[in-house]
Amino acid sequence: MPKSSLPKSSKLVAAKRGKVLLVRRRSDGLWMFPGGRRRARETGKDCLKREIKEELPKLKLGRLSLWKEVTARNKRSGRRMSDAIFIAKNAKGRLAIGDKKEIDRAAWQKPRGLRLTPTSRYIRDRLFPRKQRRRR
């Protein structure tokens, strides 16, 4: 059987009022868009729903739409990215952490000025580019 070309992970991008939903990894203190690894015979969307239920059980996602599938090599780390990135327009609910061994914080944050994982930095830089400053 040919090797699956499906993304290995799914990530959630939820934004409201200029802030994005991020979680902080306990292992290294880096912030990231929530999500995780896909299991065998699981779609990207099913993976994301399961991961969110594990990580943030009180969060209601609403409708999810696929923004893009990213398969690239990270220029800085050399790590391969293989992610299905979904956007939830109406995510809401309490940010109670389900898996405290993996995640120690969840918050609506401005997407700049935080230490992000390489994949989350890639997503942020494409979906929330820096505002171009006007020259006077």
Q: Give the pLDDT of the chain (136 residues) as one tens digit per residue.
A: 344 567 899 999 999 888 999 999 999 999 999 999 999 999 999 999 999 999 999 999 999 999 998 887 777 777 788 899 999 989 999 999 998 999 999 999 998 999 999 889 989 998 888 875 555 5
With beta carbons less than 8 A apart as the criterion, state whether 12 and 34 touch. yes
Q: Is residue 134 part of a domain?
A: no
Residue 122, pLDDT score: 87
Range of the domain at 58: 9-127
Residue 134, pLDDT score: 55
Instruction: Kindly state the helix (H) or strand (E) to which residue 86 belongs, with its residue range.
Output: strand 80-88
Cross-strand pairs, 37: 9
Q: Is residue 81 part of a domain?
A: yes
Q: Is residue 135 part of a domain?
A: no
Q: Is residue 3 part of a domain?
A: no
The number of domains in the chain is 1
Domain containing residue 58: CATH number:
3.90.79.10
For 33, residues 6+ apart whose C-beta sits below 8 A from its C-beta are 11, 12, 13, 20, 21, 22, 23, 85, 119, 120, 123
Q: Is residue 132 part of a domain?
A: no
Residue 99, pLDDT score: 84
Q: Is residue 69 part of a domain?
A: yes
